[in-house]
């Protein structure tokens, strides 16, 4: 997941720089403002994607997220290009800290602990013979992870298989991983619909272990 997030940071920085570099010259009412113009809808589109990534990687209550929100606030004297450049400065700082590994204790480890505790719960239920609940919980962890991957890669959140196909098509992971996720989703669906006789303890154990590897990857 780290590689895909890093790639997404780079993509969004490049998108913002394209916007600033191609900004058209024009006149504004106030002489102290930049005279460069950039499409407001394009800035809003970038803001939504970049803000989402900052919250995902840094945490919603992090200093990076707070500064990004402040940079995105507009006043009557603020032009689109000025707002974009302010947001980009914060975004590049978040990217630098993420690439340097400085955000692990802030966001990534917290997320890993949440997933780990849920998978531990699934494993404990399996050990006690609760096959279906174990598979369902593991499936929820998988689905949540796919939703986050989709969010940062401009893929609509949806059912597991739809996100799975879209993520593989975009190259976030390979076809082998796609097939493994399809198999896990099938077990999860069978468990949720009371078809525990159609999979085994070994299937769920392998599912939990593979999801754990996927999250760590």
Q: What is the CATH number of the domain that holds 161?
A: 1.20.120
Domain count, the chain: 2
> What is the widest separation between alpha-carbon atoms in the chain?
74
User: Do 73 and 148 sit in the same domain of this protein?
Assistant: no
d(Cα 105, Cα 7) in Å, to the nearest integer? 21
Q: What is the pLDDT of residues 53-74, one digit of tens each?
A: 898 788 777 889 999 999 998 8
Residue 84 in contact with residue 20, Cβ under 8 Å? yes
User: Do 79 and 10 sit in the same domain of this protein?
Assistant: yes
User: Do 108 and 70 sit in the same domain of this protein?
Assistant: no
User: Do 201 and 125 sit in the same domain of this protein?
Assistant: yes
H helix or E strand, kind and range, residue 213: helix 201-216
Q: What is the pLDDT of residues 5-46, one digit of tens each?
A: 788 899 999 999 988 887 655 444 444 444 467 888 899 999
d(Cα 130, Cα 128) in Å, to the nearest integer? 6
- Distance between terminal CA atoms of the chain? 6
User: Do 84 and 170 sit in the same domain of this protein?
Assistant: no
Q: Rg of the Cα trace of the chain?
A: 21
d(Cα 20, Cα 37) in Å, to the nearest integer? 9
User: Do 112 and 82 sit in the same domain of this protein?
Assistant: no
Give residue 110's domain range. Answer: 104-216
36 forms beta bridges with 25
Of 100 and 187, the structure prediction assigns the larger pLDDT to 187
Residue 140 in contact with residue 117, Cβ under 8 Å? no
CB within 8 Å of 139: residues ≥ 6 apart: 160, 184, 185, 187, 188, 189, 191, 192
Place of tokens 């593989």: 168
Q: What is the pLDDT of residues 191-201, one digit of tens each?
A: 988 888 999 99
d(Cα 214, Cα 66) in Å, to the nearest integer? 30
Last residue of a domain, one of 53, 73, 99: 99
User: Do 94 and 150 sit in the same domain of this protein?
Assistant: no
pLDDT number for residue 133: 85
Question: In the chain, what percentage of residues exceed pLDDT 70?
Answer: 85
**Cβ-based burial of 127 (10 A; exposed 0-12, middle 13-18, buried ≥19):** exposed
User: Do 59 and 112 sit in the same domain of this protein?
Assistant: no
User: Do 129 and 185 sit in the same domain of this protein?
Assistant: yes
DSSP code at position 62: S
pLDDT number for residue 31: 42
Q: Which two tokens stand for residue 164?
A: 């799975």
User: In 10 A of CB 174, how many CB atoms?
Assistant: 10
Q: Tell how strand 24-25 and strand 36-37 pair up.
A: antiparallel
């Amino acid at each position: 997941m780290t590689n895909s997030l890093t790639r997404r940071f780079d993509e969004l920085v490049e998108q913002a720089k394209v916007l600033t570099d191609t900004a058209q010259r024009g006149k504004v009412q106030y002489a102290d403002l930049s005279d460069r113009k950039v499409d407001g809808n394009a800035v809003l589109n970038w803001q939504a994607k970049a803000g989402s990534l900052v919250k995902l990687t840094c945490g919603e209550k992090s200093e990076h997220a707070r500064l990004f929100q402040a940079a995105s606030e507009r006043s009557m004297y603020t032009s689109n290009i000025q707002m974009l450049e302010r947001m980009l400065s914060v975004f590049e700082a978040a990217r630098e800290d993420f690439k340097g590994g400085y955000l692990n204790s802030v966001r990534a480890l917290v997320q890993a602990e949440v997933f780990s505790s849920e998978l531990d719960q699934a494993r404990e239920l399996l050990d006690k013979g609760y096959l279906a609940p174990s598979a369902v919980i593991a499936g929820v962890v998988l689905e949540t992870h796919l939703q986050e991957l989709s969010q940062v890669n401009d893929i609509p959140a949806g059912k597991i298989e739809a996100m799975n196909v879209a993520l593989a098509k975009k190259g976030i992971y390979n076809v082998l991983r796609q097939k493994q996720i399809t198999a896990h989703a099938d077990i999860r669906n069978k468990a949720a619909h009371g078809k525990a006789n159609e999979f085994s303890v070994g299937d769920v154990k392998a599912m939990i272990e593979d999801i754990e590897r996927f999250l760590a990857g």
